[in-house]
Amino acid sequence: MRVPVLAYHATNVSGNDYASNDHLAFAADLRLIDDLDLRIVPLQWVVEQVIGAADRDLAGCVALTCDDGSALDFFDIEYPQHGLQRSLYHCMLDFVAERGPAAQPDLHLTSFVIASAQAREQMDADSLFGRGWMGDDWWHAAAASGLMAIENHSWDHNHPCLPSPGIDGMPRGSFLDVDNLARADAEIAAATRFINACIAPQRAKIFCYPFGHVAGYLRDEYFPRFMESHGMLAAMGDGATPVTHTSNRWNLPRHICGWHWKSPEALREILQACR
């Protein structure tokens, strides 16, 4: 098993071409993956394979994720200066309409969302024009759609735009400072409970480290020792390598659009190298 996990940010809209717009990149990448005869599968399948909870043939597979949980993941939105943006969800529906449901029968996208409504509201005001694009009103419909999963991207991302200090006196701006039980429970276990209440009967099972900051305390102690509290099966980092059977379940690697690749040609190289 060598599964590349690709990550997108639907709020990355600074233009209307591949390199400047994750919506256009995502739509193009769906077609590229299909053209390469690779199979898109749910991230949960990859996690279950790593932890030994399932035994599927995942050769030639790819998993898709997106971070921060803005409404642009699910709704088409008119974006200032750049026009109507087709949501990642609707990009998948467009792909199915174009190539048929048999082309990618397991098509799926995992969206990592931020739990705290207050934090989301502040981030929306600070970075997204204050238009209410960081709400949770779409989470349940997305989780029930069969095409998306809603997963845990922490309580408040420990985002630098939030009032400081944060939980347990934590300085803002880095997730590496989540280095004790009180901070970890507040950022991860509390987020699990809130997200689960929003998407029931679905449940969040996978965490994604904000900023790609893999705190040693979380990876080595909190996640392995306190599973009953946080409810996670695995955690995603940003290692830019494929997930294999020997990957650390608490730091599974991903490739991030706009960072690890910026063109269809660069993604093609990544995908072919993972075969």
Residues 6+ apart with CB under 8 A from 124: 130, 131, 132, 133, 134
User: What is each CA distance from 181 to 197, 201, 223, in whole angstroms?
Assistant: 23, 28, 10
pLDDT, tens only, 227-270: 999 999 999 998 999 999 999 999 999 999 999 999 999 999 99
Q: How many CB atoms lie within 10 A of CB 197?
A: 9
Number of domains the chain contains = 1
Domain that holds residue 126: 5-273
pLDDT at 275: 80
**32, HSE (Cβ side, Cα atoms, 13 Å):** 19
Is residue 23 classed as helix, strand or coil in its secondary structure? helix
Ranges of the chain with pLDDT below 50: none
Q: Are 108 and 148 in contact (CB under 8 A)?
A: yes
Pick from 186, 240, 178: which is nearest to 209 by CA? 178
CB 153, CB 114: distance < 8 Å: yes
pTM above 0.85, yes or no: yes
**Amino acid letter, residue 10:** A
Q: What is the CATH number of the domain that holds 123?
A: 3.20.20.370
